[in-house]
Amino acid sequence: MVNIVLFGPPGSGKGTQSALLVEHYRFVHLSTGDMLREAIAAKTPLGLKAKEVIEQGKLVSDDIVIGMIENRVEENVGVFGFIFDGFPRTIAQAEALDDMLERHSTFIADCVSLQVPFDLLKERLLERGKASGRSDDNEETISKRIHEYLDKTAPVADYYAKQSKLREVDGVGEIEEVNQRIKAAIDADTEHHQNI
Ligand code: B4P
């Protein structure tokens, strides 16, 4: 199995790039943001709880997102590999993910970290907000999300750097151009990824 974490601040292109990567490789795409939005749309008790937190620009609790990911990993035992999009977002989530994968005799191969300046993130998310109507893509919530990222999520990059798994990729440029850079970073570890 080859498992990749796609990491970066809100609006860095994790969702956009994951969609392209699953077309190219045989990954199963697991996005905690998408799972939470599905729960919100279905108005499940979890969704109602998550809606409030997301609209405040905060992170949903570790227990909830770890549980969601664990269910999806269990459901997909035997697949070629996972691309984790927007997860882990805290050190506790990163540790839980390592434990979970170890139980299935596998591990994270690379954490691809998309580098995008904060003013550009804001611009992209405000633009997306116009079309998507996402209630967390407004100026006030975007600032809170970036603050939450710096406080709780940025340390996750160090977690993977310490394991020599962090691959920083320039996330500025055309979507296809960024995608080529990500694929080059993944393919650079050919020995580990021969069978993708
Ligand atoms: P997510 O759904 O993960 O979304 P995101 O961080 O806002 O966006 P992403 O980086 O995927 O950006 P995208 O490709 O869409 O999270 C939403 C919320 O859910 C979080 O704030 C949190 O509350 C909660 N949550 C999710 N996971 C959690 C977890 N593990 N723990 C706790 N809480 C969790 O790109 C954004 C825009 O930029 C798009 O419009 C796109 O078209 C554009 N774009 C992308 N690449 C571009 C490029 N190269 N050039 C120009 N525009 C580009």
Is 70 exceeded by the pLDDT of residue 80? yes
Segment (H or E) for 166: strand 166-170
Report the half-sphere exposure of 55 (CA within 13 A, side-chain side): 9
* pLDDT tier at 1, thresholds 50, 70, 90: confident
Atom 14 (ligand 1): residue with closest C-alpha? 13
Residue 46, phi then psi, degrees to nearest 5? -60, -40
Atom 18 (ligand 1): residue with closest C-alpha? 33
Strands 166-170, 108-115: pairing kind: parallel
What pTM was computed for the model?
A: 0.94
- Catalytically active residues are 14, 89, 128, 134, 145
pLDDT digits (tens, 9 = 90+) for 37-57: 999 999 999 999 999 999 999
Q: What CA–CA distance (Å, rounded) separates 117 from 83?
A: 24
Q: Which atom of ligand 1 is least distant from the CA of 172? A: 49
pLDDT of residue 194: 57
Of 196, 130, 153, whose CA–CA distance to 12 is shortest? 153
Q: Which atom of ligand 1 is least distant from the CA of 13? A: 14
Structure tokens at 110: 């690379």
pLDDT of residue 191: 59
The reply to whether ligand 1 has any atom less than 6 angstroms from the CB of 12 is yes
